[in-house]
Amino acid sequence: MHTRRIGNVEVSAIGLGAMPMSIEGRPDEARSLATIHAALDAGVTLIDTADAYHRDAAEVGHNETLIAKALASHDLGKDVLVATKGGHLRPGDGSWTLDGSPRYLKDACEASLRRLGVEAIGLYQFHRPDPRVPYAESVGAVRDLLDEGKIRMAGISNANPDQIRQANDILGGRLVSVQNQFSPAFRSSEPELSLCDELGVAFLPWSPLGGISRARELGSAYAPFARVAEAHGVSPQRVCLAWMLAKSPVVVPIPGSSRPETILDSLAAADLVLTAEELAELDAV
């Protein structure tokens, strides 16, 4: 497995997005555990989660608990960087709400620590700006967690360029990651990707294949990805991830998966080399 860096930690060039294993339409636990174990066997050392990745109101942290169980039951589990997030909530009716208050974020981090069964979280990210709370206060809480040793690295998610710069200042230059939506269907995070490249901050595209319900349609919706895939004898999804990796060495995609076969196909993108002409064709989509 090729590697990249998040802060001072070397991780697999492609991580595993674990959200599909815990929200609506999730598989049974056995398949989820098999998916995580298949990823570990293939060299994955980065798993993305959040306390809000659950379905029902009474199961906050379902995904974190699942990941902790999977890692504890595999010999390679100790080598994985778990990136979790706080500040987003799911009341249990299918909606998403926000709480970026410092008190909530600190309490959420403590709960994530317990569920993950660790003394310090490898990477903790502020999940989404809360318009009711000054951004500096929310990021300031993450800085406090870093200073207290509750988390080893700090990141932000769903941030614009000004917020990236502000967060890095508040964190004293210790911002290591930005997790934003980015895919062929969602290109508006190009400025954030460019800024991360400039700052040397890892950029983690979420929903890199277009989301759970649309990932399978990538080739039919975007003809260039299908054409390049056919030329290489691979899936359009694999081409998509290879295209992202070619954009910058700071890019670390985290495709969501709930089946061993889909995460293994995604991981093979790290070995797919696209020509300059192919990359230009894909960029033009």
Structure tokens at 242: 């290879």
Q: What is the DSSP-derived secondary structure letter of residue 79?
A: G
Domains within the chain, CATH numbers bracketed: 3-213+247-272 (3.20.20.100)
Rounded Cα gap, residues 185 and 207, in angstroms: 10
Angle at 15 between CA 170 and CA 266, to 5 degrees: 145
Q: What percentage of the chain reaches a pLDDT higher than 90? A: 95
Q: What is the pLDDT of residue 216?
A: 83
Q: What is the pLDDT of residue 14?
A: 98
Strands 46-48 and 81-86: parallel
On the question of pLDDT at 16 being above 90, the answer is yes
pLDDT tens track for 31-71: 999 999 999 999 999 999 999 999 999 999 999 999 999 99
Q: What is the DSSP-derived secondary structure letter of residue 148?
A: T
In Å, what is the CA distance from 6 to each residue of 2, 40, 43, 153, 170?
14, 18, 16, 9, 19
Residues with Cβ within 8 Å of residue 72, at least 6 apart in sequence: 117
Q: What is the pLDDT of residue 239?
A: 98
Q: What is the pLDDT of residue 224?
A: 96
For the ranges 140-144, 204-208, 220-224, 277-281, the lowest mean pLDDT is seen at 220-224
Q: What is the pLDDT of residue 45?
A: 98
pLDDT tens track for 119-140: 999 999 999 999 999 999 999 9
Band of pLDDT at residue 212, cut at 50, 70 and 90: confident
pLDDT tens track for 72-130: 999 999 999 999 999 999 998 889 999 999 999 999 999 999 999 999 999 999 999 99
Q: What percentage of the chain reaches a pLDDT higher than 70? A: 100
Enumerate the β-bridge partners of residue 156. Answer: 126, 178
Q: What is the mean pLDDT of residues 185-199?
A: 97
Structure tokens at 189: 């995070």
Q: Looking up tokens 């991360």, which residue turns up?
A: 196
Is 124 a known active-site residue?
Answer: no
Closest to 139 in 3D by CA, of 158, 122, 117: 158
On the question of pLDDT at 213 being above 80, the answer is no
Catalytic residue among 53, 124, 135, 222: 53
